Amino acid sequence: MAGAAGRAWPCAVCRAAGAKYRCPRCAAAYCSVPCCKTHKETCTPEPKREQGRAAAGQGEPNRAGHFAGESEELQGLLLNPHLRQLLLTLDQAEDKSSLMKKHMQEPLFVEFADCCLRIVEPLEKENIIPE
């Protein structure tokens, strides 16, 4: 499926660029009816939101290997359409480095970056000396 800005996704089955469709069960991209049929044979449906939240409480990772609900703050930030547009623009930019510097002047983008960094490296661990 093409993204909001026309980005083409690779087919999850044949890896061809320009997949136009998404599986309604797991959101995998595919480009044709034959690829759809092949995908359906091995499709693992994405768990419902309630199941994902319950699994997160039990410490089980989701299909991407991350813990669902790990950061409600990050989920809230990603609901902001302005932030999503900034991320799309950055993803599609030729010169990502200079655009990243420009985006780091945006308070919303800085808040997003800080939130991501806190997830990857929580502040509590920052001052602990390894034994």
Amino acid found at 17: A
Q: Which of 85, 121, 90 is nearest to 4 (CA)?
A: 85
Contact 91, 6 (CB under 8 A): no
85-99 per-position pLDDT tens digit = 999 999 999 999 999
Residue 101: which pLDDT band, with cuts at 50, 70 and 90? Answer: very high
Q: Is residue 16 predicted with pLDDT exceeding 80?
A: yes
Q: Does the reported pTM lie above 0.75? A: no
User: Could you tell me the two tokens for 51?
Assistant: 């199941």
Contact 90, 112 (CB under 8 A): no
109-131 per-position pLDDT tens digit = 999 998 888 887 766 544 555 55
User: Rounded CA gap, 23 and 63, in Å?
Assistant: 15
Contact 31, 12 (CB under 8 A): no
